[in-house]
Structure 1
Amino acid sequence: MQPNNDLVPLLIKNNCTPLARLRTRSAREISDSPWSIGCEVLDRDYADFSQSGPHLGALGAKHVRLQCGWAKCEPSPTGDYHWGWLDDIVDACLAASVQPWLQTSYGNPAYPGGGGIGLSEGIPTSPEALAAWDRWVRALVMRYGDRVNTWEVWNEPENCPRTTPADYATFFIRTAKVIRDAQPNAHVVGFATYILEKKTYALDGLRIIVDAGAADLLNEISIHSYPHNPDDLIDLADEFARAVAHMAPHIKIRQGECGAPSACVPIMALSGHFWNERKQAAWNLRSLLVHHAHGYPMSLYQLSDMYYEKRAGALHEGWNPKGLLCLRPDKTVAYRKPSYFAAQHVYSLLDNTWPLRRLEPLERQYPTRSTAFAWTRKNDTSPTLVSWWRADAPPEPVPGNLKIDPIQIKAPAILRDPVLVDFVSGIVFTPPAGAGRDSADSWSKLPCADSPLALAEKNVLPLREL
């Protein structure tokens, strides 16, 4: 499979001439970046890392989110841990120059009151199970602490109705103390909360942690969000971040799980809408860029499709097509989706030479809601990359319905040798006459679509021939 090129003919009709392609870079070629890719659910065998893992390094993300699977590590209540499966995954990620961050989850039905392997069963509750949990977490950190420094405590606790904010706060404090005792400099992430539907859950829990004098145990709060229009989430994320800063200014926010499906399925987030591979690629791109522009590191969900099994407390059963890799039912990789290449284009460009910080939206004139941001590289004095897109609706899945309208943007700089980038296809164009050079006041008649386009100085882009 190749990148999606549906927008290319429309750009050519709008006086853009194909010039080159973005040259993608593997994780090994990138020093560092804020980008993570999700490789969750491996603890429940909903995907097979031996099949999807070989595609990880080439993607270009520098971090990977993994779930450590207490029940898979300790299938019998003996304290005899089976680390082999997780060793193989962690070692393969590091060999690809991708740094894991590890989530302590889920429960363990081998212990009474130990919970199940999915969201609906909640955290461990019995004294016996909690003591066993502590032992496993300590053993986990001791085993991987020489290679891993970031640990996330549980996943979406609000999705179990029995787990109150107070329950999670107490559980977080307990777990974080075990982690910090084993690794004093550990970076601890909490809540992994689904803010769009239950935004007060984490704030209520955080208040309890703060009041207990335990806020220093928490470095970051991870948020999850799945709006149909990816631009609808960012204002809520900013509101949440302000509320967190009011209680505990040192705690940062990261987007820990966010991604679109490539097909219509009856289960999981964003079901109930029409999806295809082009819409997935455009949705993911808008999410990636708007999070970066607001200063939030982001983990894209996820590397491969998943096949869920409803057992031991799992909520769902069936195909979850949110992966960048299309999986067959036997969990072998069929092909790389257009969303894989789209993410590659962002990861290969926006590495740590482009600081992750909050950007102010550029002034613009457009008939409907839109967004535009300017990025400046480290040590540069003016922006060399400006990206914009239509933000009034979700991306369009039907190529025949795609359209390009002119947008006018208040210019943040005059570019000496501007080129136009289509992040979906990865094709770089000679832009319409004057674009980027008009004046220091405004750029007019730029093509605007439902997926991100950009003007950039040609010499800041990694390029290859068409």
Structure 2
Amino acid sequence: MSVIAASPASADVSGDFDTAALGSTPSGWTVSGGGGDATVQQVPGTVDRSLRLRDTSTTASVLAGTAFGSTSSTVVAGFRLRAAQTSATIGVHLDGNAGHSVTVAMSADGRLYTYDGTRRVDLGTYTADRWYDIRVVARPSTATADIYIDGERKADGLAFRTSGTALGRIEAGVSKAHTGTAWVDDVRTTVENNTGNWPYLGAVAPRTAQQVGTSDLIIGAETLDRDYTNYRAFAPYLGRLGATTTRLQGGWGKTEKTKGVYDWDWLDRIVDDARGRGVKPWLQLSYGNAAYPGGGGSGLGGQLPSSAEALDAWDAWVTAMVKRYKNRGVTEWEIWNEPNLAGIPVADYTDFFIRTATLIRAEQPSAVIYGQEAGIDVPYAKDFLARLAEKGKADLLDGFTYHPYNANPDDAWTYGQVEKLRGLIAQYAPGAVLRQGENGAPSWPGSFGALGDLDWTELSQTKWVLRRVLNDLGRDISTSVFSISDLHYPGKINSKGLLQTNTDKTIRYAKPSYYAVQNVASLFDRTVRPLPGYGWSASPDASLTVQAFAKQGAGRQIVGVWSGAAKPSEVNTTRATDLTFTDGNFDDPVLVDVRTGAVHDIPAANWSVQGGKYTFKDIPVYDSPVLIADRSVIKF
């Protein structure tokens, strides 16, 4: 699939190789070099169509390229690259008027590489007949570039190979010295507006979950119990994202397909691998099991087990589950999924929660146990909490989770209901915490699941996720992004994943939302705490959201600001805004665009301070979060 942005700050404009005629040159592409051909072909062993470059000459190259319009703004280019051998040199270039400015290539000796100026930079080995997900962020304003491979930043601040102040073309090629075949797919270029003449300092440095350590950011990895996603496929991206907890569904029906026989292998591998990547599993005890009459529903909206035999089997499985995984570092549990949306009477859910939580506590006294509901159903939550307290079992509840889905991630009603939930928890189960347990936005229109009836792109998905996450973190709510990978329900796809998938659930590429959440994970670990009641004002007096945080220790601040009171737009038009913070704490403030990761110095002429009152002039604000942050708390 090929995606080219037509202009700065526009949403992606798509066109794909899958609809191009076999044997044709893709529309908008030109072929040169004379050493072979470049045509749309079906990738061996798949039904996928990609651009194939085939060089049959050792004296001439084959090149295929397309122009995206000359620009001096930052260009973000994503593409997938695959070599049919390790004995030819193939590559993709971002070109300016002077030639190749940025190159990512595969050499004839089996190495991935790029350039820092004229110096070759090794990026590791590559394997034939394997797709590599590559992202290049190129900045003509500083003549530098960053390179990501499979979601991991491999190099940053690389000098352009050739001088020039603009880019305008992307080109793939097989070198003339070798014969060989290359495949290129999912070419996506977008253009990002520069922040005036403010000095560019660098990009937020991604941190793995192991490097982050602890945070309140959770990444959903749901539906593995029903094989709607592929853990092995997305596992390499999991730790690189930086979220330190992942939500998993335990899968009674998958584990006990034959009565009394448990096959833990599938879940053992997931739990052990996630922990090895620094990501702590949060296990949900659900769904039912068709092996038992009255065993309950086996998926979304499923009913609770009801027969005596099924309930006895549930008890045995829960006990065995906790016993097994408490020794594998699992301390957090959640009981069932969205009982209110399944129409489960609150009295039945309360009894089931008590039954299950009692078993967990007996096996793991220190366990952290969550009850839940979907949406924000305050009456259901109140009834559940009140019944729990009446039965003298409120001590079994350590937390309560909710799943809000609103087109506007800043929705005032949503957070008003959240405060009601907090009040109910304080009343009936003091000491328990509130957690946002599942939430996300699709990345294309017509997606299955919540919010799927609206028009979405990868851009609006990214903005939505960032606004929701920073709203939650700013209110001291641990928050989960749903989900790491697109989910393949029977006959339909839920596109809320941060990773685009193929039809076989393998990973196609990391969406822009993946890199944006990676920035959040790097910036907001548990040493960065929210500042409730933060004082601010703005001019012009637009519809703004402000969430403030401080780094523990010195207390230097990070303040997130964005506009919008509705679903995020498909444009990135900024508005110069003056901001005043009445109790700020900055020594050397910088501006961070969370979506892109770009860090810019705020010139001295654009900020001033009197006591604790900080005033910032002409801050470029739009409907995605930007941060005014002290330079000391930003890793770049």
Q: Which residue of 1 aligns with 2:292?
A: 111
Q: Which residue of 1 aligns with 2:229?
A: 47
Segments of 5+ residues of structure 1 without an aligned counterpart are 310-316
Structure 1 residues 416 and 8: CA distance shift in structure 2, 3 A: farther
Cα distance in 2 for residues equivalent to 1:432 and 1:201: 52
The alpha carbon displacement at 1:267 in A equals: 2.6
The alpha carbon displacement at 1:301 in A equals: 0.6
Aligned pairs for 1:95-134 within 5 A: 95-134=276-315
Q: Which residue of 1 aligns with 2:584?
A: 413
Structure 1 residues 343 and 390: CA distance shift in structure 2, 3 A: same
Cα distance in 2 for residues equivalent to 1:375 and 1:388: 12
What one-letter code is carried by the residue in structure 2 that aligns with 1:363? Answer: W
1:424 corresponds to 2:598: no
Structure 1 residues 266 and 53: CA distance shift in structure 2, 3 A: closer
Q: Which residue of 2 aligns with 1:194?
A: 374
1:328 corresponds to 2:328: no
What one-letter code is carried by the residue in structure 2 that aligns with 1:454? Answer: L
Cα distance in 1 for residues equivalent to 2:307 and 2:607: 63
Cα distance in 1 for residues equivalent to 2:395 and 2:517: 34
Q: Which residue of 1 aligns with 2:608?
A: 437
Give the secondary structure class of the aligned counterpart of 2:200. strand
Aligned pairs for 1:32-111 within 5 A: 32-76=214-258, 78-111=259-292
**Conserved 8 A contact 1:51-1:333:** yes
Q: Which residue of 2 aligns with 1:314?
A: none
Give the secondary structure class of the aligned counterpart of 2:202. strand
The alpha carbon displacement at 1:206 in A equals: 1.2
Give the secondary structure class of the aligned counterpart of 2:466. helix
Q: Which residue of 1 aligns with 2:431?
A: 250
Give the secondary structure class of the aligned counterpart of 1:235. helix
Cα distance in 2 for residues equivalent to 1:432 and 1:226: 39
**Conserved 8 A contact 2:531-2:549:** no
Q: Which residue of 1 aligns with 2:322?
A: 141
Alignment TM-score, normalising by the size of structure 2: 0.68
Cα distance in 1 for residues equivalent to 2:301 and 2:277: 34
What one-letter code is carried by the residue in structure 1 that aligns with 2:515? Answer: F
1:369 corresponds to 2:543: yes
Give the secondary structure class of the aligned counterpart of 1:434. helix
Q: Which residue of 1 aligns with 2:400?
A: 221
The alpha carbon displacement at 1:6 in A equals: 6.5
1:208 corresponds to 2:208: no
Give the secondary structure class of the aligned counterpart of 2:480. strand
Alignment match of 1:240 (pick from 421, 424, 431): 421
Q: Which residue of 1 aligns with 2:626?
A: 453
Structure 1 residues 362 and 388: CA distance shift in structure 2, 3 A: farther
**Conserved 8 A contact 2:238-2:484:** yes
Give the secondary structure class of the aligned counterpart of 2:438. strand
Cα distance in 1 for residues equivalent to 2:607 and 2:444: 37
What one-letter code is carried by the residue in structure 2 that aligns with 1:200? Answer: P
Residue-by-residue CA offset, 1:19-57 (whole Å, 9 max, x unaligned): 211111111212211111000000000001010111101
The alpha carbon displacement at 1:273 in A equals: 1.0
Give the secondary structure class of the aligned counterpart of 1:86. helix
Alignment match of 2:464 (pick from 283, 304, 313): 283
Give the secondary structure class of the aligned counterpart of 1:443. strand
Give aligned-pair identity as a percent.
Answer: 38
**Conserved 8 A contact 1:73-1:83:** yes
Cα distance in 1 for residues equivalent to 2:582 and 2:562: 16
The alpha carbon displacement at 1:413 in A equals: 2.3
Give the secondary structure class of the aligned counterpart of 2:496. coil
1:12 corresponds to 2:195: yes
1:180 corresponds to 2:361: yes
Structure 1 residues 373 and 398: CA distance shift in structure 2, 3 A: closer
Give the secondary structure class of the aligned counterpart of 1:53. helix
Q: Which residue of 2 aligns with 1:337?
A: 511
The alpha carbon displacement at 1:150 in A equals: 0.6
Cα distance in 2 for residues equivalent to 1:243 and 1:154: 21
Structure 1 residues 384 and 435: CA distance shift in structure 2, 3 A: farther
The alpha carbon displacement at 1:329 in A equals: 1.1
Alignment TM-score, normalising by the size of structure 1: 0.92
The alpha carbon displacement at 1:403 in A equals: 3.3
Q: Which residue of 1 aligns with 2:410?
A: 231
Q: Which residue of 2 aligns with 1:150?
A: 332
The alpha carbon displacement at 1:7 in A equals: 8.2
Cα distance in 2 for residues equivalent to 1:280 and 1:120: 25
The alpha carbon displacement at 1:213 in A equals: 0.4
Structure 1 residues 414 and 361: CA distance shift in structure 2, 3 A: closer
Q: Which residue of 1 aligns with 2:566?
A: 393
Bigger mean CA offset, 286-295 vs 257-266? 257-266
Structure 1 residues 174 and 34: CA distance shift in structure 2, 3 A: same
**Conserved 8 A contact 1:152-1:188:** yes
1:160 corresponds to 2:342: yes
Q: Which residue of 2 aligns with 1:462?
A: 635
Q: CA RMSD in A?
A: 1.9
Greater Rg over alpha carbons, structure:
2
Structure 1 residues 5 and 448: CA distance shift in structure 2, 3 A: farther
**Conserved 8 A contact 2:247-2:282:** yes
Larger helix share, 1 or 2: 1
Structure 1 residues 277 and 259: CA distance shift in structure 2, 3 A: same
The alpha carbon displacement at 1:368 in A equals: 3.1
- Equivalenced residues, count: 446
Give the secondary structure class of the aligned counterpart of 1:152. strand
Larger strand share, 1 or 2: 2
Residue-by-residue CA offset, 1:335-368 (whole Å, 9 max, x unaligned): 000000000001011112113x562243222433
**Conserved 8 A contact 1:418-1:435:** no
1:403 corresponds to 2:585: no
Give the secondary structure class of the aligned counterpart of 2:551. coil
Structure 1 residues 433 and 358: CA distance shift in structure 2, 3 A: closer
What one-letter code is carried by the residue in structure 1 that aligns with 2:587? Answer: R
**Conserved 8 A contact 2:562-2:625:** yes
